[in-house]
């Protein structure tokens, strides 16, 4: 399998380029690749927890779906180990709608016969990304008072897997 291109080429947030062609069928991306995020809700989804620990971005950028999946697995593993499967509820709040494309460029002997250059350079879909705004919440964990420290540690671990610096915010939900 080919290596994944460095995400520095996709990191900047801008309006995704939409091709407009005189041939209608060429104006659309035909195939959306499957998202690599396995689950968006984990833990005890039925219970309302009194504390929420959330992870939000400090900057505006795109985050690839495989980075979000690795952050989810590392935080979920820590939460399940310390709180059990019913002691928390973790939710991914952003969905990867943005489709990443790549124009493959051949290199090596005879590459000029294979490459199209910038002619037909719209690219093939290679993955998906979340367009994240500054301060937008990416992960949210609901826990009891005894699990706040574990949830905070889990969010800090998840932040190490993401390509941006993040804030961890703890809020108490008041019942009326």
- Residues 24 and 130 sit within 8 Å (Cβ to Cβ): no
The pLDDT of residue 2 is: 62
- What averages of pLDDT result for each successive group of 10 residues across the chain (176 residues)? 72 75 80 87 91 94 92 95 93 90 74 71 84 93 94 95 92 82
The pLDDT of residue 127 is: 86
Nearest-angstrom CA–CA distance, 139 and 74:
12
Number of H helices and number of E strands within the chain?
A: 3, 8
- Residues 139 and 53 sit within 8 Å (Cβ to Cβ): no
Question: In whole angstroms, what separates CA 8 from the centre of its chain?
Answer: 15
Domains within the chain, CATH numbers bracketed: 7-101+127-172 (3.90.1170.10)
Token pair of 132 as six digits: 């994240």
The pLDDT of residue 167 is: 93
């Amino acid at each position: 399998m080919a290596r994944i291109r460095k995400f520095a080429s996709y990191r900047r947030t801008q309006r995704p380029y939409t091709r407009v062609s005189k041939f209608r069928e060429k104006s659309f991306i035909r195939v959306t690749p499957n998202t690599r995020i396995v689950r968006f809700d984990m833990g005890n989804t039925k219970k309302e927890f009194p504390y929420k620990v959330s992870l939000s971005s400090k900057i505006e950028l795109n985050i690839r779906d495989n980075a979000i999946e690795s952050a989810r697995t590392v935080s979920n593993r820590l939460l399940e180990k310390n709180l059990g499967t019913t002691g928390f509820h973790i939710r991914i709040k952003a969905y990867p709608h943005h489709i990443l494309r790549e124009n493959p460029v051949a290199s090596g002997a005879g590459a000029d016969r294979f490459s199209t250059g910038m002619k037909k350079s719209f690219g093939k879909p290679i993955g998906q990304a979340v367009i994240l705004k500054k301060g937008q919440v990416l992960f949210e964990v609901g826990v009891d008072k005894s699990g706040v420290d574990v949830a905070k540690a889990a969010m800090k671990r998840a932040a190490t897997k993401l390509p941006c610096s993040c804030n961890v915010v703890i809020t108490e939900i008041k019942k009326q």
